[in-house]
Structure 1
Amino acid sequence: MHKLIIWSLLLTAIFSCTKDETFIVDSALQPLFDDFATEAQARGLSLNMTQYSGIFMELEEANVAAKCQTISNGTKRVVVDQSFWNSASALQREMVVFHELGHCVLNRAHLDDARTDGACVSMMQSGLGLCKMSYTNQTRSAYLDELFK
């Protein structure tokens, strides 16, 4: 009986100290996580995207399409507002998810610098209206070059 108690305590100690680091990316977000890594790789940056999660949630904050959250164990996840996602174009979805991955993965801060025409120099702009975001098929490559510089 004494040996059974010792084994039980030992197994409990071993398994209670094991970190449960499960990283789940919603299937609708996975292609954008993959594209982010591909775009980074094309610019000479190798990323391990398996350490990040991505989920949908209704966000309570006004005018917030997504956010990068740091969880209590230090891991990071992208949370995308479900209402935004339902009404956004593919290009808008990409820009917002890439922006948040810029925070989570690249540790980028907001950058509200504007070009002389008022357009934002970076997709990492804050959304406060200090510059005009013009993420289009024509400007996409330049914004991605700046993101991964």
Structure 2
Amino acid sequence: MPVEAPVPNDPRAWVDVAVRQNLELQASERAVSAAEQTLNQRKAGHAPTVDAVASYRKGDNDSFGYSNPTDFGANGYRDNVAQSSIGIELNIPLYSGGMTNSQIKESTERLYQSQDEQEDRRREVVLNTRNAFRGINTGIEQIAARRQSIVSGQKS
């Protein structure tokens, strides 16, 4: 039974494939991306916001507070009223008690943690792949040496 060396017989090629296809590394890349997005969101807490607002109300004038029954007798004056408004609202955060800054610091540290965990996983994948590659080649060499010893033993 022939035993052949892995193809390609280059540990760097195997490491490249392992790094590209390792699911834990892919998950850690997503975790880093999520931490970056969270940090950007927290930093936006200092930025002003602009909102478009619109409202429409319909009812009688009493529900809007436009009439006073004492001005128009006991029954008062009632009429149907429609009110609509459209506007732009600008919110400028002046002070939030340090909450925004503390959230930014926390998100920054979580990003660093995610990046460190990603690098740890990458190094572990590289190390395990290199060790497995060496183990395969060592096993192939051991098989070849045993075959040679069998052949030598049969000749003597």
TM-score, normalised with respect to structure 2? 0.21
Flag the structure with higher helix content: 2
- Give the structure with higher Rg (CA): 2
TM-score, normalised with respect to structure 1? 0.22
Q: Determine which structure has greater relative contact order: mean sequence separation of CA pairs < 8 Å that are 6+ residues apart, divided by chain length.
A: 2
